[in-house]
Amino acid sequence: MTKPAARQPLRSNARSNRARILATARRELGRNPDITLEELARASGVVRRTLFGHFPGREALLEALAEEASEALRSALTEGARPDEPAERALAHFVFSMWPVGDRYRLLLALARRDLGIERVAEILAPARDAVTAILERGQRDGVFPTHLPPAVLSAGLEAMTVALLEAVNTGDLGDEGAPVALAVLVAAGVREDTARLVVDDIASASAAAPEAPGAE
């Protein structure tokens, strides 16, 4: 009679250990991309056998982190989708919703390129790239964004700039807020700076006030 009750805590402990290992990996890989799995096990507070039981190698660990990133991106895309708003507001909303995800996984991108391959990174980022391209296409049709570059090319340029801004956060040269990045993206997309500031300030104010809405607690 005691065996069924004993197995459930073991399953719970296994889930807890796996989550702790992944959280530690996100943190420690950011500090030292070449950290070994043995060092990660110690930092996670588990024995080597436990870590290897969940992740038999570095590639398996990074693939788990990549899948986490993919799920977080999909969730953020759902949260930030604004198909009925003007294109400049839709793009700013997109940046605000995606920035926390990008910040969390900014170093995973470099690791994934090196360890998992560029194809896997492209697969993870494809939904976000498609969403931005669609917003830019709509904005160019509506006259919000200039048409000097095709939407897909402009989207790739904005992505590269965003990754560079994420790295600036990592080095301490830029704060960890989404508003300056949203402003930079809008201006780079061709929106006048004064107009972009109004859009970003309005969205930032609405986001700050949202937790105080009735029933938010």
Q: Residue 192 and residue 200: Cα distance in Å, rounded?
A: 12
Q: If you search the block for the tokens 């700050």, which residue do you land on? A: 208
The separation between CA 6 and the C-alpha centre of its own chain, rounded to angstroms, equals: 38
Look at residues 40, 155, 34, 177 and name the one whose alpha carbon lies nearest to residue 103: 177
Query: Does the residue 217 lie in any domain?
Result: no
| Residue after which a domain boundary falls, among 9, 39, 56 | 56
Looking up residue 150, the CATH number of its domain turns out to be 1.10.357.10
Same-domain status, 102 and 163? yes
Same-domain status, 32 and 129? no
User: pLDDT tens digits, the chain, 217 residues: what are they?
Assistant: 444 444 444 477 888 889 999 989 888 887 788 889 999 999 999 999 999 999 999 889 988 888 888 888 888 777 767 888 999 999 999 999 888 887 666 666 667 667 777 787 788 888 888 989 999 999 999 999 999 999 999 999 998 898 888 878 877 898 888 899 999 999 999 999 999 999 999 999 887 766 543 444 3
Query: Does the residue 99 lie in any domain?
Result: yes
Same-domain status, 136 and 186? yes
Burial class (CB within 10 angstroms; exposed 0-12, middle 13-18, buried 19+) of 12: exposed
Same-domain status, 72 and 161? yes
pTM of this prediction exceeds 0.85: no
Domain that holds residue 82: 65-209
Tell me phi and psi for residue 105, to 5 degrees: -115, 20
Q: If you search the block for the tokens 């300056």, which residue do you land on? A: 180
